[in-house]
Chains A and B, each alone.
Chain A
């Protein structure tokens, strides 16, 4: 039945749009905007998660040891620290390297370092750790012999974790809000279509047409409008992404370029699949109002 009437279903779908021309156009614009905003929010969420993961991977504890420690004892200390669970890597940073690092961070302000007669920095061990184990590792290192002081930046690391959770929660809430809004708008279009074609639907029911035959054009119209809105939203996202990636210098040079964290291929596939799925669900939801006779 479906294959035999394929052209009819497509023709009917466009008749439904034509019957409610203004409503269709307004709904298409609304859906496109909703999809566009949701792409931005969800992508932002994805990017922030990637960013937090990057920071997590770079989480490090600075271990300052006794100044007169010989190289044999320093090696033994490094081995002890490396054996702690969650420690991924250790770099022995000399006083000179420390000075150079600070020069790089301060940039043009590095001239302040010239005020010192001697290098004010001391050597230390830069211990890379898993973020979630950082607190435990810091406590364990403090107990080791020859360790003077441990700077674990725990507060900063905790904040990063909290921000990650907050952004995730906002993203989840927005996703739910977008799905609900899309379902409501699309099902409303279907309801309007059903209402405008009530006489035709009644006639078809009295002639014995099965529900599938009656509902299919409405269902296709819901899926199609949602899909087209998804494509429009993708086009808008592409324009925004293109403008941002060709925008020149990064705002914060030490942070990674966020457009590198943004996978447009993934977004295209996700938006197309989601728009079709949401359109199909919303149409089904809207068609539940058709009384069976």
Chain B
């Protein structure tokens, strides 16, 4: 699923975002990436999404070598990823239904199945009653659920959630983390980044990656 060898990332301005790291994440795993703000968590996610390319070493995501991929190939790879952005990146002025549908419109899914997938995913995150509501008027937690539903509807092989507990209180944060970790399945891997160390005991993760000033430390767990 994800495999890296001495992979590092240095930005154009010379900032060492990630120091060389080796990593192996298999199908069905729930991986937590823990680190303070600016530690390199988002940089790692950028590598996984192909927004940035490794400066050194190799990184393989879903069987694709990220260093040698063209923009078109990266777009195709992203079709198999369900990203949940820190700021959600929902389309303002559109309904919950429109937002979730927009994430799968360009995938090769028949029209009828598209609607079914959308409805199933919004039900799974518990916002089916807000289906026709414009996202601008939803609460922070509801917007986050829309973002999760959009990722889920894509039936991705890899779900990436960037700081999903950012603005939530303890109980809601636990709910969201449980919801995300439950999305993992035989064909789906979940990667969650967080700076809230006190919450990770609540997640049934398989690996925890701690990042500090760009340096990664990987710990396996048998908690799942």
Contacts and interface: CB of A to CB of B under 8 A. Distances in A.
A199 B87 CA distance: 11
Contact of B106 (A200, A206, A210): A210
B89 A202 contact: yes
A218 to B, nearest CB: 15
B91 A208 contact: no
A5 interface: yes
A203 B89 contact: yes
A208 B89 contact: no
Contact of A207 (B71, B103, B111): B103
Contact of B83 (A199, A206, A210): A206
Interface string A1-21: 100110010000000000000
A208 B78 contact: yes
B103, B105, B111 interface centre (most CB from chain A within 10 Å): B105
Nearest to A293: B51
Contacts of A211: 75
A205 B75 CA distance: 7
B76 interface: yes
A208 B106 contact: yes
Interface in B41-73: 49, 51, 71-72
A13 to B, nearest CB: 15
Interface residues of B, number: 24
Contacts of A203: 85, 89, 91
Given A4-B111, A202-B89, A208-B78, A292 B71 contact: yes
Interface residues of A, number: 19
A1 B78 CA distance: 17
Contact of B79 (A4, A199, A208, A293): A208
Contact of A210 (B75, B81, B85, B103): B75
B193 to A, nearest CB: 16
Contacts of A208: 75-81, 106
Contacts of A95: none
Given A1-B106, A213-B106, A200 B91 contact: yes
Interface string B23-36: 00000000000000
A1 B109 CA distance: 9
B102 interface: yes
A206 B89 contact: yes
Contacts of A122: none
A8 B105 contact: yes
Contact of B89 (A1, A8, A199, A293): A199
A12 to B, nearest CB: 10
Nearest to A205: B75
Given A8-B105, A199-B89, A293-B71, A206 B79 contact: no
A1 B72 CA distance: 16
A180 interface: no
A8 B76 CA distance: 21
Contacts of A206: 49, 51, 78, 83, 85, 89
Contacts of B154: 207
Contacts of A4: 105, 110-111
Contacts of A213: 105-106
B78 A207 contact: yes
A204 B51 contact: no
A209 interface: yes
B76 A204 contact: no
B94 to A, nearest CB: 9
Nearest to B111: A4
A199 B85 CA distance: 13
A162 B92 CA distance: 62
Nearest to A4: B111
By Cβ-Cβ distance, the 6 closest A-B pairs, closest first, are A208-B78, A208-B79, A213-B106, A203-B89, A209-B106, A292-B71
Interface of B: 49, 51, 71-72, 75-81, 83, 85, 89, 91-92, 102-103, 105-106, 108, 110-111, 154
Interface of A: 1, 4-5, 8, 199-200, 202-211, 213, 292-293
Given A208-B77, A213-B105, 18 more contacts: A1-B108, A4-B110, A8-B105, A200-B91, A202-B89, A203-B91, A206-B85, A206-B89, A207-B78, A207-B79, A207-B83, A208-B78, A208-B80, A208-B106, A209-B75, A209-B106, A210-B75, A293-B71
20 contacts: A1-B106, A4-B110, A4-B111, A5-B105, A199-B89, A199-B91, A202-B89, A203-B89, A204-B102, A204-B106, A206-B78, A206-B83, A206-B85, A206-B89, A208-B76, A208-B77, A208-B78, A208-B80, A209-B75, A209-B106
